[in-house]
Amino acid sequence: MIYLKNISDSIINAHWKYFKESEGYSNLLRLSNDTLIPRAEKEYFLRLTNESLLKSIIVGKPEQLRNEILYYQTTIRSQIPLLTVHQEFLSVLTWDEGIYPQINTIAEKKTDKTTVTNKKQFLYDFFLNLIHQVNDPNLIIKFEQGKLTIKNIKILYSGLKTYFKTKLGEFYDRISSVFDYNDFIKEKEEWYAYKLTSELGVNVCPYCNRNYIHTSITEHGRTRAELDHFYPKSKYPFLSISLYNLIPSCHVCNSNLKKSRDFYSQKHLHPFENDFINDFCFEINYLEDTIDNIVPDIKAFEIKLRPDTDNPDVIDLVNNSNATFQISKLHNHHKDIAQELLARSIHYNKSKIEELKSILGTEAGIDEEFLKRVIIGNYADIGSFGKRPLAKYSYDILSKTDLKDNLDL
């Protein structure tokens, strides 16, 4: 949960230029004059030809993106009511990612049979309610009434998925032809996904601050950060290539944890918007009242992340992000680093630091900030937390020790 600051003007200009010269923009102009598509859709595309509005969608700040979501959620959904039901359907994510893992035999072992049965009942009732909301005689799903089997629930899910694809597919396809993410990730000379991640220069995933996400292109292959759609493109396809909606992130955070969760309805920290790095902290929670050693055994403590503010809105942002990306849980796999930091806080007292300064002083080309990195094993200033994994975590653990004052952090 690291703040990435604003995107540079050069990146904004390159991204806007890419869109204006893209086939997507040509498609927008064509659709705005297409008399063969439903009137509500034509008017929607005509509205988007307003250059000021369009620019706010393509390269606008997160607040501007939320304004467009609000318009879509009110005006457009009122004109195309089926969108409301479809968005409810999308809230359960996909079968493989969001549903099946909660109702299979493994889920029963992890929790208990009653919990899984209740989940099946919820899903069965949920899908049945969607069918009633649609109220379309053409929606025919042959399922077994009252049966809470995995097979029956999947029949309901698949039937609804097919129906929405049939009824809304053309509308979504038209939006996607304008805001074409598949085109953006294709290799181009001027501007595409690899150029974006390279220019952003984000080294570490801002969601977890645990994994490197460098961009590298060589004759032997290439790699880059995944681009997470902060506001999911499945629900808000008009934000598919919006610059401030593309968050460079690691595979674990983007694909394994966040998936298609809707961060518009449930607020989370936005890496390009929320500079709340001081409003939460990692801390060691000792599991016993007394600790025999200054550097405790790994089993004697756990790592907690807690909000460090009285602002209830920020507390919600922190807690939601912590839960979605499993920040506390995953940082407990790095308790050995906490041990090492505690050991360093003991070893590097003021005299030891002065001794090291005399050895690695300015004559050796070692400045104050580099010396701190040598002692800590990571970056020590808040502005550099995004340069190396676990920098925020290391800083917070040390902040509870004398080493913080000794190094004047």
pLDDT band at 383 (very low <50, low <70, confident <90, very high): confident
Q: Reduced to 3 states, what is the DSSP secondary structure of residue 165?
A: helix
Above 90 in pLDDT, residue 57? yes
> The tokens of 254 are what?
């983007």
Question: Could you give the CA distance from residue 19 to residue 179 in angstroms, rounded to a whole number?
Answer: 8
Question: Could you give the CA distance from residue 74 to residue 57 in angstroms, rounded to a whole number?
Answer: 17
Tell me what pLDDT residue 364 has.
61
**52 exposure class (CB count in 10 Å sphere: 0-12, 13-18, 19+):** exposed
> The tokens of 110 are what?
């992890």
DSSP state of 6: P
> 129-146 burial, b for 16+ CB within 10 Å, e for fewer?
ebbeebeeeebeeebeee
Tell me what pLDDT residue 267 has.
94
Report the DSSP beta bridge partners of residue 195: none
Question: Could you give the CA distance from residue 85 to residue 133 in angstroms, rounded to a whole number?
Answer: 7
Above 80 in pLDDT, residue 360? no
DSSP state of 212: B
Query: What percent of the chain is predicted at pLDDT more than 70?
Result: 97
Above 80 in pLDDT, residue 345? yes
Mean pLDDT in residue range 65-69: 97
Above 90 in pLDDT, residue 8? yes
Above 80 in pLDDT, residue 363? no
Between 228 and 96, the higher pLDDT residue:
228
CA-nearest of 34, 62, 26 to 179 is 26
Amino acid letter at 299? K
Tell me what pLDDT residue 220 has.
87
pLDDT band at 402 (very low <50, low <70, confident <90, very high): confident
Tell me what pLDDT residue 238 has.
97
Question: Could you give the CA distance from residue 63 to residue 34 in angstroms, rounded to a whole number?
Answer: 31
Above 80 in pLDDT, residue 167? yes
Above 70 in pLDDT, residue 24? yes
- Alpha helices for 179-227 (secondary structure H): 181-184, 193-200
Helix (H) or strand (E) holding 328: helix 327-331
Between 294 and 255, the higher pLDDT residue:
255
Half-sphere exposure of 232 (CA within 13 A, CB side): 17
CB count in 10 Å sphere of residue 105: 10
Tens of pLDDT along 134-152?
999 999 999 999 999 999 9
Above 90 in pLDDT, residue 346? no
Are 227 and 248 in contact by the 8 Å Cβ rule? The answer is yes
Question: Could you give the CA distance from residue 372 to residue 376 in angstroms, rounded to a whole number?
Answer: 6
Mean pLDDT in residue range 228-241: 95
**292 exposure class (CB count in 10 Å sphere: 0-12, 13-18, 19+):** exposed
Tens of pLDDT along 280-329?
999 999 887 766 667 888 888 999 999 999 999 999 999 999 999 999 99
Give Cα 293 distance to the centre of its chain. 39
pLDDT band at 365 (very low <50, low <70, confident <90, very high): low
Q: Beta strands 246-249 and 280-286: pairing type?
A: unpaired
Above 90 in pLDDT, residue 58? yes
Summary mean pLDDT of the chain: 91
Q: How many angstroms separate the Cα of 317 from the Cα of each of 271, 275, 280?
A: 12, 12, 10
Query: What percent of the chain is predicted at pLDDT more than 90?
Result: 70
